Amino acid sequence: MNDKIKVLIVDDSALMRKVLKEIIMTDDQLEVVGTARDGQDAIEKVNELMPDVVTMDINMPVMDGLTSMQHILGNFPELPVIIVSSLTNEGAMTTFEALELGAFDYVAKPSGTVSANLHIVGREIILKVKLACNNADKKNIRDRVLRCNNKINQRKSVPANHLDFVKNNELSKVVVIGISTGGPGTLMEVLPVLPPDLRAAVIIIQHMPPSFTTSFAKRLNDACRFPIKEAEAGDVLKNGRGYLGAGGYHLVIRGESGILRLPTSPKTIFMPSVNVTMESVLDTYGGKNVIGVLMTGMGDDGADAMVKIRNAGGVTIAEDESTAVVYGMPREAIERGGAEIVLPSYKIADAIIKAVGKS
């Protein structure tokens, strides 16, 4: 009986198909059941081969990867699609769109559309293929996307210059959101729902390569009702502002004035680290002024800090298993006693608003 994970590779480059196949076939638990040269070919191969996971390029002739993925997920909403995209600004923005539309995760090509050195990220590709397959039956992607779209459509219109909408931008409280695999899509269920006059600063720590965080900050800023920027050293925390941790650096607070600094130590698996940021905010402002939020992601980054925030009198919120794309980080926080409130992703924004208003 063959219980290997069946993978379909979609890429218009013969070299990329060859390299991806070589990488995937190095793992005994994986099997490449076929390849497709464009988006239309991918749709036909999915119906024919019934893979467990699809790796999808974006820029292809006949039909691009984004369009192909939407057709595939329309028929097979729980089939995980991993986007394999270039590190360019255009590639990053398209990748975020794919994640919001239901892609499970992404892998960044290290040197453009055709990356002969793709083996550099070989371990990441294998890990994410396994993770996608193991979590496919826990997440109906189509339902998550519909919830996200409904939330965004229900929000009030944003002023042309939403910077002017915030009347009191002095700092009252700090919300720290930690998130990893599945984060871009899940954040779109939460951040656009938060009001422009939120009496708190919002720090977002999303595990993401350095080359992607600038583009992601711009996408969040366009989607949300208050301004969000990639954090820079010297930024000052203010109410009704969002700060996305820059890839490759930690985000920590210096002094009660809330000046951000971006050190490169300590060395951790993920940079920025949720634990490092949450503990820095807690040390600076004390528990009663901090709201910790931990959502979908692999591993346990942020779980220990959530315990410390809760013990210090802060509010802690973890995403429920029913909506988590990967139930790793929130589960660890819950099991360690660090989650006061456990909710599905689409209820977390309301919980944040309530916690910010709590005296």
CATH number, domain of 52, equals 3.40.50.2300
Specify whether 45 is located in the same domain as 97: yes
Active-site position among 52, 235, 301, 320: 301
Active-site position among 180, 215, 273, 280: 180
Specify whether 12 is located in the same domain as 61: yes
Q: Is 180 a catalytic residue?
A: yes
Specify whether 282 is located in the same domain as 333: yes
Domain housing 296 = 164-357
Within 10 angstroms of residue 64's Cβ, the number of other Cβ atoms is 17
Active-site position among 207, 215, 300, 345: 207
pLDDT for the residue 136: 58
Instruction: Give this prediction's pTM.
Output: 0.87
Assigned token pair, 6: 């069946």
Q: Which stretches of the chain are DSSP H helices?
A: 14-24, 39-49, 65-75, 89-100, 122-135, 141-154, 183-190, 210-223, 274-285, 303-311, 329-335, 348-357
* 66 within some domain: yes
Q: Could you tell me which of 330, 344, 323 has the C-alpha nearest to residue 295? A: 330
Predicted confidence (pLDDT) per residue in 279-311, tens digit: 999 999 999 999 999 999 989 999 999 999 999
Specify whether 268 is located in the same domain as 335: yes
Specify whether 87 is located in the same domain as 212: no
* 151 within some domain: no
What averages of pLDDT result for each successive group of 10 residues across the chain (359 residues)? Answer: 88 93 95 96 97 94 93 90 78 85 85 67 90 69 56 45 51 96 91 96 93 90 95 95 95 88 89 96 94 95 98 97 92 97 96 92
pLDDT for the residue 145: 53
d(Cα 108, Cα 118) in Å, to the nearest integer? 9
Specify whether 169 is located in the same domain as 47: no
* 76 within some domain: yes
pLDDT for the residue 156: 41
- How many domains is the chain partitioned into structurally? 2
Specify whether 171 is located in the same domain as 82: no
Q: Could you tell me which of 222, 229, 258 has the C-alpha nearest to residue 245? A: 229
d(Cα 121, Cα 343) in Å, to the nearest integer? 34
Looking up residue 257, the CATH number of its domain turns out to be 3.40.50.180
* 123 within some domain: yes
Last residue of a domain, one of 138, 153, 182: 138
pLDDT for the residue 257: 77
Specify whether 224 is located in the same domain as 95: no
d(Cα 333, Cα 195) in Å, to the nearest integer? 27
CB distance 207 to 301 below 8 Å: yes
* 82 within some domain: yes
